[in-house]
């Protein structure tokens, strides 16, 4: 089971409005492993991209945690992908 979710966005409508995936997201497509620091603790993680089904299940939680992302996704010409953080 995943322990975290990253939204493949630049944090603003600019890149998404152009239909461009962020560079860090494209890096995860090639190398889906990373170390993250959470509450000052470094964690080794796998970071696969969520399937369409997983993303559909997770989007309501993403929007509940950060309401502007509902509008962000609606205005974007691309599906904003979700990256799952799974412990290694």
pLDDT at 11: 60
CATH number for the domain that contains residue 22: 2.30.110.10
Distance CA 44, CA 54 (A): 22
Provide the domain count of the chain: 1
pTM for the complete prediction? 0.77
Q: Are 86 and 27 in contact (CB under 8 A)?
A: no
Q: Which domain holds residue 25?
A: 4-87
The CA distance from 14 to 4, in Å, is 24
Long-range contact set of residues 9-14: C-beta below 8 Å, sequence gap at least 24: 9/69, 9/72, 9/80, 13/72, 13/75, 13/76
Alpha helices in 1-88 (DSSP H): 13-17, 23-30, 52-65, 68-75
Give the model confidence (pLDDT) of 48-88 as tens digits. 999 999 999 998 998 898 888 777 777 777 788 899 988 88
């Amino acid at each position: 089971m995943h322990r975290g979710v990253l939204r493949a966005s630049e944090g603003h409508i600019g890149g998404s409005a152009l239909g461009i995936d962020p560079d860090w997201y494209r890096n995860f497509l090639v190398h889906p492993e990373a170390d993250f620091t959470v509450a000052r603790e470094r964690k080794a993680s796998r970071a696969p991209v969520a399937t369409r089904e997983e993303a559909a299940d997770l989007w309501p939680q993403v929007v509940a945690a950060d309401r502007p992302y509902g509008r962000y996704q609606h205005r974007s010409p691309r599906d904003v992908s979700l990256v799952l953080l799974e412990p290694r």
